[in-house]
A and B are shown apart, each in its own frame.
Chain A
Amino acid sequence: MHPAQAKLSEHALLKNYLLDRAYDEMFAGPDDLHPHYEPLFERFSSLPADELQRRKHSAELSFLNQGITFTVYGREDGGAEHIFPYDLVPRIITAAEWATVERGLTQRITALNLFLRDIYNEGRILKDGVVPRETVYSCKHFRRQMVGLQVPRNVYVSICGTDLIRMENGEFVVLEDNLRVPSGVSYMLTNRRVMKRIFPQLFRNYNVRPIEQYTQLLLGALRSLAPEGRPEPNIVLLSPGVFNSAYFEHTYLARQMGIELVEGRDLVTHDNVIYMRTTGGLRRVDVIYRRVDDDFIDPMAFRGDSILGVAGLFNAYRAGNVTLANAFGTGVADDKAIYAYVPDIIKYYLGEEPILQNVKTYLLTDPKSRRHVLQNLDKLVVKAVGESGGYGMLIGPHSTAAQREEFAQKIEADPRNYIAQPTISFSRAPCLIGDNLEARHVDLRPYILYGDKVTIVPGGLTRVALKQGSLVVNSSQGGGSKDTWVLSQ
């Protein structure tokens, strides 16, 4: 502990540090650090400002030189590459906090897989009226083509990234499930690598649980999906190509797993078997880790105008000659209207109480909720159900009257397409802004793998809303990230 002569809140490093009702990851009270943040704070306050800047610069340079960049759509610079802003101060999670998160996520992914299997087969949960039929069938990510189809090992979602936030009382809750093609795991891995280089001693003293095994676990999960009779499966990663914003991640994962990165134009279908064009002729493909959305993956089965996909892939999949991770049609379970039912889904299939709670969600198809929401648009957050990445969203307290009017009209026109949630002041963590530590809102996206069993590498991607006061952490909207340390005790 610091000697008592100087109050923490008067420390020069903290002169712009905002504390209010939102949970703070570092401070328990105005002059009271959470014990697990003490060594970190001590280290940061012991370094002169220019040394901190030097390390920050060195980290940024290393991202740039490695080409760890992403492309933002629709900006004036025409899809230029940007580095993902990186914050030097790690976010620390205690072993006990993590244990709860881990149990909660395992429970959730297990239930959601059972839900997907059920709605595409018997539909028990629909018959029992736990989730309304219309809500499922009206979801734009519901794939009729999947009805009655048996997927390998009954695993629909092999890879999942769930967004968690921390409420004012410090409890982690689920903000959304990403069950289609979650991204960002490469940033989790590269952030760690850079952090170990920039603060080796601090890292060592903290006893942080490792995450480097992720790619090996991912490969294992993919291998477990191989079609029968293919003991040495050829596993590939299917990417939309170099213009996709996550292309760096695709190349990173393919390289780390030692599998081929393919694009739609590399693959051909013949007799319901998928082949890739190699210099030695055509070679059969058994498992596809696809980073292409359902809509674009097979112009014959889904959107006919897609040029990213592989014609005939769905039929090959149906014939059992190739497996995809994730399966088609998983988006129905991360629809934001279905989200409201997830606690009931967990109770229905597992007979357990949910360990991680949801954020309160108003379904706008219900006339009473809709009236309430329309009257309180300035206090609520409205989201389009099928969107992600921070697009199609209204944050009430930060919105203009014109924006609210626009959303009110959209909601009236298509209530099924929107949900509303209270504006949550989710937790803040210290970030290095200029020469000071300032508090910024953060979320947490752990990555869950479902192979032979559910595995979660300890940690995940902590995303930061770097703009002061902002609640949007998405990289496409000015968010950044930081390393996440889960302590081993």
Chain B
Amino acid sequence: MLSRVADSLYWMSRYIERAEHATRLLDVNLSLMLDESATSADRRWQRLLVELGSPKEVKWTDDPYELTQRLSFDTGLKGSILSCIISARENARHVREQISTEQWHRLNRLYLQVTRPEIRPDMDAEAAIDRADQPTEFLQQVMEGVHQFQGVSDSTMSHGEGWQFIQVGRYIERAAAIALLLEAYHEDLWQHSDRIPEGNEYLEWMGLLRSATAFEAYCKVYTADVTPDRIFEFLLLDQEFPHSVRFSIDTLERALEAIHGEGGKSRAEPLRRLVGRLRASLSYSSADEILNGDIVAYLRGIQFQCRGIHEMMYQLYIDYSIQAALAG
């Protein structure tokens, strides 16, 4: 497979995953806001910005709808939902001949849906009441489109090298995003849990779980008896839940192994070590141990290692030196 193609597939997939994550976070926070007092909402929207990687261009201005609007539609903002979908589609367009027609149709349709100007609610609309309903509809639409795209990718594209790069993109993005999500919640849930207004704890916990589509899956394991430590354990270390960090890294490792298989294992040794170390740490750690230690350092470590894996993978498969390749 061409290195450029692998690069595009990888980023197409990362952007889709990023769009999905941002969409879900907005949706969850918009809905939780309805049950809450203004002061705690304030905290939560600020935290949302941290969960999305603290984009420099955006500041919390007391207006959740304006914030939603920007994070959804502002194409000047690289991480907005619209920007992510445009980037994903642009990457797909670069490898139009590599993905299945169904994949392209689904993604192109999503793109056309969200870029059609009439979808965008008018920011100066006088009817402020309507404003509250519009974003939810848009978010639903994106979520559905993204899910369909992922389903179609799995069922219509050969699970060869290209698909494996799609897997790598999706799960590296997810692992880092969930680690960041936990880090953003850390202060409120573990460090200063007393700061949460009385009676709001459950809402906060639910919010965290739903930010990772994890509420129902969590209940199946622990019942609806929700505690912060168990949430932590579930989102970080669960072996079977597709949005847990451990699941993501396990899948990432399998996808990378499949890719190494095509190109020769010895060359890939440094990358295998890197991924294997992270996977082992997640497989053999216990939640108590991490919770008693420096949680933030642990979570940041995961994000740091994800970046390391990304860079190493680039050196190996995408951006390698030609002289070295000729010599080898």
Classify the secondary structure of B's interface with A: helix
Selecting from A166-174, A272-280, A376-384, A438-446, the interface stretch reads A272-280
Cβ-based interface call for A453 (8 A): no
In the assembled complex, A24 has its CB within 8 A of some CB on chain B: no
Query: Cβ of A242 < 8 Å from any Cβ of B?
Result: yes
Of A67, A261, A276, the contact of B108 (CB 8 Å cutoff): A67
A251 CB contact (under 8 Å) in B2, B6, B96, B259: B96
A351 CA to B90 CA, complexed, in Å: 53
Q: Assess A268 versus B97: contact at CB under 8 Å? Given A277-B4, A281-B263.
A: no
Contacts of B325 in A (CB 8 A): 277, 281-282
**Which of A242, A247, A280 touches B263 (beta carbons < 8 Å)?**
A280
Interface string of B1-45 (1 = CB under 8 A from A): 111111000000000000000000000000000000000000000
Q: Is the CB of B1 within 8 A of A278?
A: yes
Q: Mark B262-285, 1 if CB is under 8 A from A, else 0.
A: 111000000000000000000000
Contact assessment for B2 and A277 in the assembled complex, using a CB-CB cutoff below 8 Å: yes
B93 close to A268 (CB less than 8 A) = no
Let me know if B317 is at the binding interface, CB within 8 A: yes
Q: Is the CB of A279 within 8 A of B105?
A: no
User: Please, what's the 1-or-0 string for B230-264, where 1 marks a CB less than 8 Å from any CB in chain A?
Assistant: 00000000000000000000000000000100111
* A400 CB, nearest partner CB in chain B, Å: 37
Question: Do A276 and B2 have beta carbons less than 8 Å apart?
Answer: yes
Measured CA separation A276–B325 after assembly (Å): 11
Asked whether A118 is an interface residue with its Cβ less than 8 Å from the other chain, the reply is no
Q: CB-nearest residue of chain B relative to A81?
A: B93
In whole angstroms, what is the CA distance A279 to B316 when docked? 8
Check B318 against A279 for contact (C-beta < 8 Å).
Answer: yes
**Nearest chain A CB to B286 CB, angstrom units:** 37
Check B3 against A67 for contact (C-beta < 8 Å).
no
Question: CB-CB < 8 A to B96: which residues of A?
Answer: 67, 247-248, 251, 255
Q: Which chain B residue lies CB-closest to A256?
A: B97
Q: Chain A 245-259, CB within 8 Å of chain B: the 1/0 string?
A: 001101110110000
Most buried by B among A64, A260, A281: A281
CB distance from A273 to the nearest CB of B (A): 10
| In contact, A251 and B1 (Cβ under 8 angstroms) | no
State the Cβ distance, A76 to closest chain B Cβ, in Å.
17
Could you say which residues of chain B place their CB within 8 Å of the CB of A64?
112
With A242-B93, A279-B161, A279-B263 as known contacts, state yes or no: A263 contacts B326, CB within 8 Å: no
Query: Within the assembled complex, what's the spacing in Å between the Cα atoms of A187 and B3?
Result: 29
CB distance from B262 to the nearest CB of A (A): 6
Q: Residue A213 at the B interface, CB < 8 A?
A: no
Residue of A whose beta carbon sits closest to that of B319? A277
With a cutoff of 8 Å between Cβ atoms, the chain A residues found around residue B101 in the complex are 66
Distance between B105 CB and nearest chain A CB, rounded to angstroms: 6
Cα A277 to Cα B2 with chains together (Å): 6
Any B CB within 8 A of the CB of A270 = yes
- Give the docked Cα–Cα distance between A282 and B263 (Å): 11
A266–B4 CB distance below 8 A: yes
Minimum Cβ distance to chain A for residue B328 (Å): 7
Contact present for A279 and B97 (CB under 8 Å): no
Judge whether A65 is part of the interface by a CB distance below 8 angstroms. Answer: yes
Q: Are B93 and A282 in contact (CB under 8 A)?
A: no
A197 within 8 A of B: no
Within 8 Å of chain A (Cβ to Cβ): is B195? no
A255 to B259, CA, bound (A): 22
A280: B residues at CB distance < 8 A? 1, 262-264
Identity of the chain B residue whose Cβ is nearest the Cβ of A276 in the assembled complex? B2
> Are the CB atoms of B322 and A268 closer together than 8 Å?
yes
Closest CB in chain A relative to B325 CB, distance in Å: 5
A262 in contact (CB, < 8 A): yes
For residue A43, CB closer than 8 A to chain B, the reply is no
Contact with A along B307-321 (1 / 0, CB 8 A): 000000000011010
Interface contact A282-B259, CB-CB below 8 Å: no
Say yes or no: is B59 at the interface (Cβ < 8 Å to chain A). Answer: no
Q: B312: shortest Cβ distance to chain A, in Å?
A: 14
Closest chain-B Cβ to A485's Cβ sits at a distance in Å of: 25
Q: Across the interface, do A266 and B3 meet the contact criterion of CB distance under 8 Å?
A: yes
Question: Within 8 Å CB of A252, what residues of B?
Answer: 97
Q: How far is the CA of A12 from the CA of B146 in the complex (A)?
A: 48
Question: A127 an interface residue at 8 Å Cβ cutoff?
Answer: no
Contact A263 B263, CB 8 Å, known A64-B112, A67-B104, A254-B97: no
A229, B262: Cα distance in complex, Å: 26
Q: Mark B83-110, 1 if CB is under 8 A from A, else 0.
A: 0000000100110110001001100110
B210 to chain A, nearest CB (A): 33
B119 to chain A, nearest CB (A): 16
Contact present for B93 and A262 (CB under 8 Å): no
Q: B93, A67: Cβ atoms under 8 Å?
A: yes
Q: Which residue of A lies closest to B324 (CB)?
A: A281
- CB of A349 to closest CB in B, whole Å: 39
* Residue pair B326, A266 in contact (C-beta under 8 Å): no
**Chain A 278-301 interface 0/1 with B at a Cβ cutoff of 8 Å (1 = within):** 111110000000000000000000
A279-B6 in contact given A65-B109, A270-B326 (Cβ < 8 Å): yes
Q: How far is the CB of A262 from chain B (nearest CB, A)?
A: 6
- CB contacts (< 8 Å) of B6 on chain A: these are 279
Mask of A147-167 contacts with B, CB within 8 angstroms, 1/0:
000000000000000000000
A residues near B90, Cβ cutoff 8 Å: 242
Contact partners of A254 in chain B: CB under 8 A: 97
Complex Cα gap A55–B223 (Å): 54
Q: Is the CB of B326 within 8 A of A279?
A: no
Return chain A residues, CB-CB under 8 Å to B1: 278-280
Contacts of A282 in B (CB 8 A): 322, 325-326
| Contact sample, A vs B, 8 pairs, CB 8 Å cutoff | A66-B101, A67-B104, A260-B2, A261-B97, A270-B322, A279-B259, A280-B263, A281-B328
Beyond known contacts A277-B3, A279-B3, A280-B264: 6 more, CB 8 A cutoff: A66-B101, A67-B104, A255-B96, A260-B2, A281-B328, A282-B326
